[in-house]
Structure 1
Amino acid sequence: MRRTTRLFEIIQLLRVARRPLTAETIATQLEVTKRTVYRDIASLQALSVPIHGEAGIGYVMRAGYDLPPLMLSIDEVEALVVALGLVERTGDRGLKAAAASIRAKVTTVLPVAARQPIQGRSLYVSNWGSSEPTAVDLAEVRRAIREERKLALFYGDAQGQETNRIIRPIAVVYYVEVVSIVGWCELRGDFRSFRADRIRACKPTEERFAGEGARLRDLWQARQE
């Protein structure tokens, strides 16, 4: 988690807390060390954020503190509402949770006059889309793409033939009805797309393809064009 994101999260936790939060509680929720929380709290206090702490009790924030309003036009807010609704159709559990978190955060920091599209339910996106895959964690796939880590797949194709594959994942494609993982397949020696709903098992390996991800994506995109 980036430091700026972490500072924002700490503010959000303290704003909604009904009782003092200890450094240990905050550290657990953000998956960081207590020392990191101490440093972040000190940084926020140096920026005049009204956080007060007492040893053995925890941290509290002065009532009424608010973040600066997020300056978005009404069209930008409506675009965000529709985009978040489309994310919820992807079948990606991690992205759906992130979309809900974004919606809550944006609602908190938007000026009251600009909250109608989010709070007033005036824009709708149908919930028909990809079902959540049962044998693969798409958050784990996205992490493997970022870390340039190979994936081991047990895959069944359209004819029902099952194979073990080692792939270098480079992209996730969210279609309306299905999610596909694109990667360089070491078995076939070429790019392949693997439907998430046909993956029987998936796990990251210890083997990396560091420095190759961008080049592979460029080659794959050139073929799409």
Structure 2
Amino acid sequence: MAGGRKQSGERRSDRLFELIGILRDGELHTARELATRLNVTERTIWRDMATLRASGVPVEGERGVGYRVTAPITLPPLNLSMGELEALHLAVAILGEATDPELARSASSLAAKIDAVLPENTAIPSGGWGFAVYPFADAASGFRHMPLLREAVRGKKILRAAYRSRDDQVSNRLIRPLQLDYWGRLWTCTAWCELRNDFRVFRVDRFQTLIDTGATFKDETGKTLDDYLAARA
């Protein structure tokens, strides 16, 4: 029974990840279109959109019209960088799981106050800010890779990666990290994958290992971030 619930939760996390990947183009997508692409019901899409909103992903839209991802989350009067937002999520998540009841209650209160001032949200989600999509332990497992990935994006470094797929198969790849994105406690890395000879968007928490090969890459036609964005458009 527990194993079945875990597999169901993993499938839902994978589906939410795929939804984010579709919506990140900024275009309007109907629930019917999304349901067809993901082989689920429209009712499931409605529930998933509510979950994404509750987790802090800036989704706008409604049933019968369509959905799209809008601007990054901000906290007025502050504009948070991705690194600052990551740190805030991490701190609240850690305190929320603290064994000290007082700290846990304070974290829950802080999460509610943050929700109250997020312009993309009009109500406090029942699950608390940032807790609705990905378990903290899963999200945190990818944090250790962030410094190397940031360095690789800035320095155009080629990394050797062991990556676990959604069906738990591990493949060894050489990647050229191009961009990091943050979606409600989930980091993704857009990269050129030498193994697939194509662009791939990796969930950072699914990297088993990342190693700096010492090699760097130069921008090549067809392999740049602009090329990836143009292909999506």
TM-score normalized with structure 2 length: 0.44
Which structure has the bigger radius of gyration? 1
